[in-house]
Structure 1
Amino acid sequence: MPAISRDEVAHLARLARIDLSDDELNHLAPQLDVILQSVAQVSEVAAQDIPPTSHPLPLTNVFRQDEIRPCLSAEEALAGAPIVDGAQAVEDERFRVPRILGEEA
């Protein structure tokens, strides 16, 4: 005899607002019983001394710690600007690049 009856499946279907035919109820009751038995087996295997985990292997942080390091000053970075028309392509402490849009800024 299944642990979940046909009437219980019908009740669950009504609660979920699912319209099931008699054939569907007869078909689903044994399937739901198998699912419940499988969950019960898993519950038996889960031991109290094993902590619940989200991953089978331990996770480690792959990001390095933030450390302040020396970096280029604005002048040093702009020193690498290309030479255009005999002058370095720098304007207002920024790299000067050709305009790609036809509209005025």
Structure 2
Amino acid sequence: MITKEDVEHIGWLARIDINEQETVEYMEKLNSVLEYFGQLDELPTEDVAPTYHVAEIHNVFREDVVEECLSQETVLANTEHKQDGTFRVPKIG
């Protein structure tokens, strides 16, 4: 069970101010969620195969094939911001 102190601690960790009324409301809501999880724990799941997705998902990526890449000149052709064969970017720091 979630206590008022737990909710206050969670609020402190999240750096949010929770007043007394909100503390009680959140405590009730979180305990309701935990009760629901308790109900789920009671279901017979021995014959249920583990799943990672609820919907059937197929790999939509293309085959990873090595192809000829663009030349350095082609890559830098459309920029004014180049220096020594690379993109020139603002200094960070």
TM-score when normalising by structure 2: 0.51
Q: Distance in 2 between matches of 1:44 and 1:19?
A: 36
Which residue in the other structure is 2:47 paired with? 49
Higher-Rg structure is 1
Letter in 1 for 2:17: D
Cα RMSD for the two superposed structures: 2.4
* Identity percentage of aligned residues: 28
Deviation above 6 Å: which 4+ runs of structure 1? none
- Assess, with a 3 A threshold, how the Cα gap between structure 1 residues 15 and 60 changes in structure 2: closer, same or farther: closer
Q: Distance in 2 between matches of 1:14 and 1:48?
A: 40
The structure showing larger relative contact order (alpha-carbon pairs under 8 Å, at least 6 residues apart) is 2
Superposed, 1:87-102 pairs within 5 Å as none
Superposed, 1:61-72 pairs within 5 Å as none
Cα deviations across residues 19-48 of structure 1 (Å, max 9, x unaligned)? 101111011111110011111211222523
Gaps of at least 5 residues in structure 2 are 59-93
TM-score when normalising by structure 1: 0.46
Letter in 2 for 1:14: W
Q: Distance in 1 between matches of 2:37 and 2:57?
A: 31
Gaps of at least 5 residues in structure 1 are 62-105
Pairing partner for 1:13 from 11, 14, 17: 11
Q: Secondary structure at the match of 2:54?
A: coil
